[in-house]
Amino acid sequence: MNFGTFATDLRNNLYKNTMENSETIDTPQTDIRIDLVAAQYLSTAAGWARFLAILGFIASAAIVIGGMVAAIAFSDYGRGSSGPLLVFMLIYGSLMFLPALWLFNFAQKSRMAIDSNDSEDLKSALKNLKNFFLFQGIMIIVTLSVYLVIIMAVGL
């Protein structure tokens, strides 16, 4: 069994189990309320999320601009093709932009949810936070896998 088939089977089984479990659970929708202390915690988290998101936007822009400058410098000095470097830096900058955007949206929607006491804004905020952590988790797994392949190839 190859990895693609394994991943597809795992995803299908998880989806099937989730659907079966969601059909058997019949509970009334609960109304979750956030007290003043929880709202303050959420507000503080939103402030830090906004700060980190802005840093992520700056880092993403710096990577893209740095990649363009490096590509121009390599092409001017005749050190080979700078196209792959530029493409790599654009992809890497884009990959850094997405989690920053989700974190920024979490911060914005959290503040809106606190100010308006709207559960839909809170739901949207938490969805953005989920996307952020999901993406970061996948990127960590990919990075560790690449490191493992490099270590095995080098033979350390």
Domain boundaries, the chain: 35-154
Distance CA 21, CA 35 (A): 31
pLDDT for position 113: 93
Kindly report the pTM of this predicted structure: 0.72
**Cβ-contact 91, 103 below 8 angstroms:** no
Q: Which CATH number fits domain 35-154: 1.10.357, 3.30.410, 1.10.3470, 1.20.58?
A: 1.20.58
φ/ψ of residue 80, rounded to 5: 105, -175
Mean pLDDT of the chain: 83
Cβ(67)–Cβ(84) below 8 Å = no
pLDDT at 127: 97
Tokens of 96: 């850094």
Phi, psi of 2 (to 5 degrees): -85, 170
Alpha-carbon dihedral 40, 45, 48, 50, rounded to 10 degrees:
-100
pLDDT of residue 99: 96
- Taking only the tens place, the pLDDT of each residue in 77-123 is 666 667 777 888 889 999 999 999 999 999 999 999 999 988 899 99
Q: What is the pLDDT of residue 70?
A: 82
Interval 127-143 mean pLDDT:
96
**What are residue 131's phi and psi, to 5 degrees?**
-60, -40
Identify the weakest region by mean pLDDT among 10-24, 35-49, 72-86, 136-150: 10-24
> Distances from the Cα of 86 to the Cαs of 4, 79, 89, 94, 149, in angstroms?
30, 14, 5, 12, 24
Query: In 3-state terms, what secondary structure has residue 150?
Result: helix
